Structure 1
Amino acid sequence: MSAPASATAGAPKGGVAPATKRVMNLSHILRQAARRFPQEIGFVHGPLSVTWAEMDARVDAMAVALAGKGLGKGDRVLVQSKNCLQMFESMFACFRIGAVWVPTNFRQTPDEVAYLAQASGAVAMICHADFPDHERIVREQAPGIATVIGIGDAPFGEDYDALVAAHLGRKGPVADVEHDDPCWFFFTSGTTGRPKAAVLTHGQMAFVITNHLCDLMPGTTQADASLVVAPLSHGAGIHQLVQAARAVKTILLPSERFDVAEAWGLVEKWKVTNIFTVPTITKMLVEHPSVDQFDHSSLRYVIYAGAPMYREDQKRALAKLGKVLVQYFGLGEVTGNITVLPPALHEPEDGPHVKIGTCGFERTGMQVQIQDDQGREVNAFETGEICVCGPAVFAGYYENPEANAKSFRNGWFRTGDLGHMDAEGFVYITGRASDMYISGGSNVYPREVEEKLLQHPALVEVAILGVPDPMWGEVGVAVCVTRDGAPVNEAEIIAFLDGKVSRYKLPKRVFFWEALPKSAYGKITKKMVREALEERGLLPLDKPLERSA
């Protein structure tokens, strides 16, 4: 890996020889759960339930099987699978032998997954039976893959459960690891280009686990239960790793399709105490009629990440669920550990004491700074790039010195998000640097206008992006989704905004769609909205905007 400059250590001082940085192998958290609560249920998927002791034994067996195929410390294992027990176990099995877990977004195309195999240098692949084309294309395009293991009734590779059964009862050695030894290649979503492999390490992730338990879900114990409503390949996987550290049972939705009523039914049945979501999924959970048909009083933490939640959506969620919302801001490269807004600071009503629009304050052990283009800290309330340093920051992008040089400056990781900090240290995200556009020489941050638009009673989702304009350089285009097809038109929306934002921030055009395109993780991305506008022939706009300055 080409490490960023910030990752290089200085020479030891005072004549003291540098000590080893040996740390706990992350798979040990599963062993701890199995020792303390062997017969407690650790994993639930439909009718399947597995105890901690059973899962630890299965992970041992798979670790022995992988080692028997020559896999060991530093080897990358590509995992193409939807959420299931075997996928979850594969993470611990890789950790146990010191290999690197390389999960894909299972909704990616075969060619996209083949690129991830090439970019990671993977030498083995664990693939669910539902993805034969992925396995075939990966084998064709990534000749480095020497071992393939199939999950379920797969027409390829060796059978995962058969390998487990063949080695059950055996315990291989647990790999010794140091702080900076990689354990997980966390691929970025690729919204601004091809995905990059962010290298997460054993030492870093031990801090992340501790920090999540401290800041996101304090008081978590084995009596808790966690419902998974997102792919385990990314943020949900980190969340479930944290749950395992406290022997919290993980509950998967029984089907691939997200069924809101089914989710609420599981909350009631298993007395679920925490859910990791994104704002769009939280919105679906809250606005579906089934929210009133099941008991969700067990919930203590509904954690949303990936994007800030619009204020109107916050209010509706708080009205339905009570003060259980937890927001955190953090990229995969910082494994979520940038800011937190705990339940106590999620107020159901606006007021002078409510910090509307904030994503919270700095996480424990982390430092946030708002910087200008030269890397200088700006004053309170001034807009700049949100930068962060601390033990949760990743080791760098795998074999990508150009991306590392661009993303690190003076030891700070540059998030690419714009925002400001108030005098008390609360951070406010204005938007991605790439989302900002310049109209008539003035900067426009779409999120500010989107927040205003969502106050309109007929609108449930909004995305605004800048597009080229011959007169103003760039202008805004708003794409809106109405509530239950409520009648509303472009003129009404523009009139609603007039007076609420400066005139140069008014969108030139407003389009109404049945739904906004979303990523596999339920996030609305401006890149996908732009592509959809182009596919529908709505871009480029061809008439200059007539308006007063």
Structure 2
Amino acid sequence: MSFETANRDTALPWSTRTSNIAHFLSRNARRLGDRPAIIWGDDRWTWRELDARVSSLAIAMREDFGIRHGDRVLVQSPNNNQIIEIMLACFRLGAVWVPSNFRQGADEVAYLAQKAGTAMMFCEHGFPGHAAACRAALPDMVGVVAIGNANFGPSYEALIAKNLGKDMPNADVDRDAPCWLFFTSGSTGRPKAVVLTHGQLTFTIVNHLNDLMPASTPEDVSLVVAPLSHGAGMHQLTQLAAGAVSVLLPAGRFDPAVAWELVARHKVTNLFTVPTIVKMLVEHPSVDEHDHTSLRYVIYAGAPMYREDQKFALRKLGKVLVQYFGLGEVTGAITVLPRHDHHLEDGPQARVGTCGIERTGIQISIQDDDGKHLPPLASGEICVTGPAVCAGYYQDEEANGKAFRDGWFRTGDLGHMDAEGYLYITGRASDMYISGGSNVYPREVEELLLAHPALKEVAVLGIPHPKWGETGLAVCVAEEGQELDEMSLLATLHGRLAKYKLPTHFVFLSDMPKTGYGKITKKLIREELTARGLMPVLEGTS
């Protein structure tokens, strides 16, 4: 995958030209100029001010650093107004935004910089080691700009001030022009750089507005909970298109009480996060201390939400939950389970375990190992096609060869669809294990275990077994003030699972290892257990 389409000096063919995503900002500045675009603590920026700052930054990037169409621009920063401005300045220039997970180490971010072929970098003041590591990895990088008070590069705010008042038109872009390198979480190895384009993201923005947050308007208010470098960045673009204001959480550790206070103060109407954060929000006492009746959409994605957690959230918040299933490679847009399909009571209508139906404009196929399309209720790999699918992985033809087959993107997730088109995810292909010749899907076991009232979180892994090939290891975290034991957990499963599916080993932790985005991944749990000497090694295995 190259950036040739983004480096054309000739006029774009009429058939492939598309609107630059930064045009949403231009439109808002004209129509909603004095309305707030971003609120962060006591600071707020109107749409007109945001547009002016983005133009000023884009001019500095072009004139001071020589950034042009297709150049990659790395950002190492937690959520703030600057990361949004940099994203939009990249789009305005026709450059490519490359956000890192700010919780990654310096060497990890240096790898991203090398993989992307970064031309310049923006780095928040708290990460001088990251700036140094990226400079060492890419000595030809034209510069590092410091966000905040730091001496490792020119001042971000000085660059903004230098060109305020100057206009910068949005670059002409091709529908397939890259604008965002979205790095995967690397759950099965080194992160891969997913190429997202102006045309693809424009489709996904419209899709999000239609399927996740219908009837969104400039009256809406979004609380930014998750890191903007990944799924929340896509959610941010949706707010941009709607003209809705975004409220940023204070810097530092996530505090549910602060989040609920902001919901009440700003009459927040939507937020996007992962199931573990929804669980934290609704189980915290502050949920009952602040008015949250303004909420219309609480959108969760990135991992399954267990049924018991789903029901608790519905009792606390009402019918505001919206689930979507997707990957970075499909910019999140595979399925949606809308508000009206979230039911508090179990039964046929609840369709327990589903992640919803195909998103508008998206088609799903359940396929076997040879690419054969399987009928309803048959299990196989979830494959998808449609305008939300990425252009491929940057400079990784091996990964592209594995991920695409006959025009279908292979998600690596296993599942089935029912006769009405509702999708059920069994788990990652890499999570499934085989015990005594039979497939075991951890999600099924985890769902049942969570019916235990003292169990807060659980992850089931397959580990080597001398007789059965593999067996189940349940990694468990108890609710605060509660105690767990192996026998009571097994009693929860008694009569509800075949014997070969029952975990034979249990490990109890005080906290479940999670990624920087709050997701539970089996890879990270294995690494943590191994590092702490907690991974069982059964006699006769190695």
Q: Which residue of 2 aligns with 1:448?
A: 444
Q: Is the 8 A contact 1:23 1:178 kept in 2?
A: yes
* Partner residue in 2 for 1:45: 40
**Displacement of 1:19 after TM fit?**
4.7
Kindly state the Cα deviation for residue 543 of structure 1 after the two structures are TM-superposed: 4.4
Cα distance in 1, alignment partners of residues 275 and 57 from structure 2:
36
Q: What corresponds to 1:316 in structure 2?
A: 312
Change (3 A) 1:212 1:388: same
1:60 correspondence with 2:89 = no
Name the amino acid aligned to 1:48.
D
Match of 1:378 in 2: 374
SS in 2 for 1:265: helix
Match of 1:72 in 2: 68
Give the C-alpha shift of residue 256 in structure 1: 1.9
Shift of 1:532: 1.5
2:292 alignment partner, one of 289, 296, 305: 296
Matches within 5 A, 1:11-50: 19-50=14-45
CA distance in 2, matches of 1:317, 1:206: 31
Decide whether the 8 Å contact of 1:2 with 1:397 is kept in 2.
Answer: no
**Matching residue within 98, 114, 119 for 2:115:** 119
Q: Equivalences for 1:144-163 in 2 at 5 Å?
A: 144-163=140-159
Whole-angstrom distance in 2 between the partners of 1:451 and 1:235: 25
Query: 1:423, CA displacement in angstroms?
Result: 0.4
Q: CA deviation at 1:173?
A: 3.5
1:132 maps to a residue whose letter is P
- The answer as to 2:137 corresponding to 1:141 is yes
Residue number in structure 2 paired with 1:347? 343
Q: Kindly tell me: are residues 19 and 174 of structure 1, through their superposed partners in 2, closer, same or farther at Cα, counting changes over 3 Å?
A: closer
CA contact (8 A) 2:256 2:280 kept: yes
* Equivalent residue letter for 1:383: S
Q: Which runs of 5+ in 2 are unaligned?
A: 6-12
2: CA distance, partners of 1:131 / 1:403: 31
SS class of match (1:158): coil
SS at match of 2:529: helix
Residue 482 of structure 1 and its aligned partner are, at CA, apart by 1.1
Equivalent runs, 1:378-457 vs 2, <5 Å: 378-457=374-453
In structure 2, the partner of 1:222 is 218
Is 1:465 matched with 2:467?
no
| Cα distance between partner residues in 2 of 1:110 and 1:278 | 25
Any idea what SS the aligned residue of 1:508 has?
strand
Contact 1:209-1:241 within 8 A present in 2 as well:
yes
3-state SS of 1:485 partner? coil
- The secondary structure found in structure 2 opposite 1:286 is helix
Q: Counterpart of 1:364 in 2: which secondary structure?
A: coil
TM-score, length basis structure 2? 0.97
**Does the aligned pair in 2 maintain the 1:468–1:540 contact within 8 Å?**
no
The root-mean-square deviation of aligned C-alpha atoms, in Å, is 1.4
Alignment of 1:247-286 (within 5 A): 247-286=243-282
Query: What residue is the counterpart of 1:526 in the other structure?
Result: 522
Task: Show the counterpart of 1:11.
Answer: none
Between the aligned partners of 2:322 and 2:343, the Cα distance in structure 1 is 11
Q: Write out aligned runs for 1:195-210 (5 A).
A: 195-210=191-206
Alpha carbons 2:464, 2:538 under 8 Å: kept: no
- Report how far residue 458 of structure 1 moved: 0.9
The one-character-per-residue Cα deviations of 1:401-420 (angstroms, maximum 9, x if unpaired) are: 00000000000000000000
Contact 1:459-1:480 within 8 A present in 2 as well: yes
Q: 1:486 aligns with which of 482, 487, 491?
A: 482
Per the TM alignment, residue 544 of structure 1 is displaced from its structure 2 partner at its CA by 7.5
By how many angstroms is 1:510 displaced? Answer: 1.3
Give me the whole-angstrom Cα distance separating, in 1, the residues matched to 2:454 and 2:170. 57
Q: What does 1:325-340 align with in structure 2 at a 5 Å threshold?
A: 325-340=321-336
Amino acid at match of 1:190: G
Q: CA deviation at 1:538?
A: 2.4
* 1:332 shift after superposition: 0.3
SS of 2:223's partner is strand
Partner Cα distance (1:467, 1:127) in 2 = 41
Determine the structure 2 residue equivalent to 1:12: none
Could you tell me whether the CA contact under 8 Å between 1:225 and 1:271 is conserved in 2?
Answer: yes
- 1:243 is aligned to 2:249: no
Q: CA deviation at 1:247?
A: 0.9
Asked if the contact 2:211/2:336 (under 8 Å) is kept, the reply is yes
Contact 1:518/1:525 (8 A) holds in 2: yes
Residue aligning to 1:234: 230
| Letter of the structure 2 residue corresponding to residue 211 of structure 1 | N
Q: Of the candidates 160, 179, 197, which is equivalent to residue 183 of structure 1?
A: 179
Give the CA deviation at 1:498: 1.8
Question: Which structure 1 segments of 5+ residues have no match?
Answer: 8-17
Q: Is the 8 A contact 1:228 1:236 kept in 2?
A: yes
- Aligned amino acid, residue 142 of structure 1: L
Deviations 1:23-45 (A, max 9, x none): 00111111111111100011011
| 1:145-192 C-alpha deviation (Å, 9 max, x unpaired) | 112111110111111111110100111332110110000000000010
Q: Deviations over 1:498-549 (max 9, x none)?
A: 211110000011121111000010001111111122122222432489xxxx
Distance 2:209 2:351 in 1: 24
Q: Distance in 2 between matches of 1:250 and 1:273?
A: 10
SS at match of 1:43: strand
The letter of the residue matching 2:56 is A
- Give me the TM-score of the superposition, normalised by structure 1: 0.95
Q: Tell me the number of residue pairs that the alignment of Structure 1 and Structure 2 aligns.
A: 533
Shift of 1:487: 2.1
The equivalent residue for 1:89 is: 85
- CA deviation vs aligned residue, 1:305-359 (integer Å, no higher than 9, x gap): 0012100000000000000000000000000110000000000111232211000
Given that 2:507 and 2:534 are in contact with CA atoms closer than 8 Å, whether structure 1 keeps it comes out as no
